[in-house]
Amino acid sequence: MKAWNHASASQVRTYRRCNRKWWYQYLYGLVAPSSPAAALGSAVHKALETRIKTGAWPTDAKKDVLSIAKSGWDRVPMPNNPANVEKRFSFQPEGSPVPIIGFIDLVCPDTSTIIDHKTTSSPRWMKMPEELRADPQGVIYSSVAEKLFDFSYPITFRHIYYMTKGKRGSAATSVTFFGPTELVPGLERIVETVKAMAIDAKKTDPLRVEANDAACGDYGGCPFKDTCYNHREKENKIMSLDAFSALLAKGKKEVVAINSPEGPPPAVVEEEPKGKPLVEVLTDDAIPGADALIQRMDEADQVAHERSETTPKKRGRPAKGPFLPDGRPVAKLKKGELVSILSAMLEGGDMTIHLAKPEPDYLIAPTLYIGCIPRRLGPGAIYLDDFLLPYQKAVADDEGQAHFLAIDFGKGPKLVAAAVALAAANGLALPSELIADRHSPCANAVIQALAPHYAVVERLG
């Protein structure tokens, strides 16, 4: 296990996608194998760094690396101070348990601009401006520019994209923050994520860290999925062994020899249950007012018994009354549980005992269902396709297209997701239950944008 003493933008992004993948990489010490695309991106970054610092391209760089780096050179502001290249920072926002560290590719104090170089195989992987606004990197880097580098507003965060396949070219996406009110909400959400990371960092068993099965296939497959699978298999075997041992112990019986020379076995005397009966515990001496409550429970039980004698019997075994206000039958409660519940009822002045099981109020934490549907839909439930219709139409109109899927380079779904993310960041009242089909065109991008706004995320598969 590695000591965890800092966070970063990439850590926050990884943790939000899959808690367990983050744990494997930053706590367990597993190393993801380097891909050719990642190696190429690092080489391009190095070439650009050398060009800005020395004013000349590196002589030892490969031809394709130089051609990629030069394709976006006209987007890099010059001249620039070499000290502003690969600017290291350590920033601990208020409430964060650990500092957040990182390196900024290029800092431009004169224009209050932060630049991050990105290599990509296709324009469709470019982030839209509103995606950058909600992205942990954009929020953290812009906050650092204000707090540590004394940038004045407006602050611009820019991605310069260098195309690695096909015809060489570049593109840029920028987002501008005009004041701290645009940064603070995103930074507060990042601090909450870091707090959750600090809790999981104390865990030594990966199976106690939540996994997101929907992320197993990201970017060609999670590099730690085999380790994750092996840990799950080990847990299943242990659970099976424990269950078998418990069953075996339960089935064991003492074997007594017939006609034993020592004589018959001694009679087994059952011990009286320890502790006082429940009725003796629930007295006015222990809990003031308990006697009156017990009397009402007895009366309700008698009425329920009389009703059951005259009511035609139905199939199944319905729970017998009386019931507590939350619908639980009193007979099913444990002693300690009943004592605490009755104490709370007495303190609140609620002496209501129901003869019939009350219908519970439908209260549910805001929940995002991905690939599954709840058994009971609440009044605020809505399907993702219906929820996105106005955003899809607005995006299509803005781009001058009849349908959002007709937008060039397949950017339609990402533009829709960006519009939804912006609305959510500005206080959009989201549905209490949102049901998402992952096969919908916008689903993946929208789910990634909305998941942090929901208290509960239920996934299937």
Distance between CA atoms of 355 and 39, rounded to whole angstroms?
70
The DSSP call for residue 454 is: -
Q: What is the DSSP string of 397-457?
A: HHTT-SSGGGSGGG-HHHHHHHHHHHHHHTT----SEEEE-TTSTTHHHHHHHHGGG-SEE
DSSP structure class, residue 152:
P
* Token pair listed for 181: 């009110």
**C-alpha closest to that of 438 among 395, 383, 396:** 383
Helix axes 290-310, 335-348, angle to 10 degrees: 110
How far, in Å, CA of 376 to CA of 237, rounded? 34
pLDDT values of the chain reduced to their tens digit, one per residue, 461 residues: 788 999 999 999 999 888 999 999 999 888 888 888 889 999 999 999 999 988 899 999 999 999 999 999 999 987 778 888 999 999 999 999 999 999 999 999 989 999 999 999 888 888 888 788 888 999 999 999 999 998 999 999 999 999 998 888 999 999 999 998 889 988 999 999 999 999 999 998 888 888 888 778 777 788 888 888 777 666 565 555 555 555 556 555 444 444 444 555 555 555 554 444 444 444 555 555 556 555 655 655 565 555 555 555 555 565 555 666 566 666 666 656 666 666 666 555 555 555 444 444 445 578 888 888 877 777 778 888 888 888 888 888 888 888 888 887 778 888 888 888 888 877 778 888 888 887 777 788 888 888 888 888 887 75
| Alpha carbon distance 428, 449 (integer Å) | 13
pLDDT at 117: 94
User: Hey, what are 302's tokens?
Assistant: 């008698």
pLDDT at 247: 53
Continuous segment of H or E residues that includes residue 418: helix 412-425
CB of 83 closer than 8 Å to CB of 108 = no
Residue 355 one-letter amino acid = L
Q: Which two tokens stand for residue 214?
A: 């929907």
Per-residue pLDDT, 281: 46
Domain map of the chain by residue range? 9-228, 283-348, 367-459
Please give the Cα distance from 190 to 142 (Å, whole number): 13
- In this structure, which CATH number among 3.90.320.10, 3.40.190.10, 1.10.150.20, 3.40.50.300 belongs to the domain 9-228? 3.90.320.10
Round to whole Å and give the CA distance between 185 and 426: 9
Tokens describing residue 105 = 């590719």
Three-state DSSP class for residue 432: coil
Burial bucket for residue 31 (CB in 10 Å: 0-12, 13-18, 19+): exposed
What is the spatial distance between Cα 183 and Cα 207, in angstroms, rounded to a whole number? 35
Q: What is the pLDDT of residue 333?
A: 64
- pLDDT on residue 439: 75
**DSSP symbol at 32:** P
Q: Cα torsion for 204, 208, 214, 215, to the nearest 10°?
A: -10
User: pTM score, two decimals?
Assistant: 0.56
Are the beta carbons of 10 and 194 closer than 8 angstroms?
no
Q: Which of these, 140, 55, 156, lies nearest to 108 by C-alpha position?
A: 156
Directed axis angle between helix 412-425 and helix 384-398, to 10°? 110
